[in-house]
C-alpha cells in the first residue's frame, strides 16, 4: 500500500472510532459500485449517515473538508442513492458528513466531524 493509501486508511480508522464512540454502528466501509465509493456508512437508530473522510498530513492544502467541492458532493449523493437501492434500507433520515482528519508528524489523528455538511 502506498503512502497516500496508508494516510487515507489511518484517517478512516480514526473517523470510525469517533463515530462508534458516539453510538453509531458501521454498516459499510469503502463501499464501492461502478459510480464511485463511500468511505463510511453509519447508522444510529433509523438514521443513516454517509461520511466522506479526508485526511491530511499537514496544512499545505488546507483542511480535508476543503476538498469536498460541489462536484464531489454531487457524486457522493449519486453513490449514496445507489447504496440505498442496493441495500434496500429505508432510513427515517439521511445525513452527509465530512470527517476532516489531520495527522500530526508523530502520527496522531485529530478528527473534526462536520455534521450535515451538505
CB within 8 Å of 61: residues ≥ 6 apart: 67
Domains recognised in the chain with CATH numbers: 3-114 (3.40.1350.10)
Q: Distance between terminal CA atoms of the chain?
A: 31
- Residue-wise pLDDT tens digits, 11-62: 999 999 999 999 999 999 999 999 999 999 999 999 999 999 999 987 666 6
Residue 62: what pLDDT? 66
| Confidence category of residue 107, pLDDT binned at 50, 70, 90 | confident
- Residue-wise pLDDT tens digits, 61-88: 667 778 899 999 999 999 999 999 999 9
Amino acid at each position: 500500500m502506498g503512502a497516500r493509501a496508508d494516510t487515507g486508511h489511518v484517517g478512516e480508522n480514526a473517523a470510525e472510532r469517533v463515530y462508534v464512540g458516539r453510538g453509531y454502528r458501521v454498516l459499510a466501509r469503502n463501499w464501492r459500485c461502478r459510480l464511485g465509493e463511500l468511505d463510511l456508512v453509519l447508522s444510529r437508530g433509523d438514521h443513516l449517515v454517509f461520511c466522506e473522510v479526508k485526511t491530511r498530513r499537514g496544512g499545505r492544502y488546507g483542511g480535508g473538508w476543503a476538498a469536498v467541492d460541489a462536484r464531489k458532493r454531487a457524486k457522493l449523493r449519486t453513490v449514496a442513492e445507489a447504496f440505498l437501492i442496493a441495500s434496500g434500507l429505508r432510513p427515517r433520515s439521511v445525513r452527509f458528513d465530512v470527517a476532516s482528519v489531520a495527522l500530526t508528524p508523530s502520527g496522531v489523528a485529530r478528527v473534526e466531524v462536520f455534521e450535515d455538511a451538505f
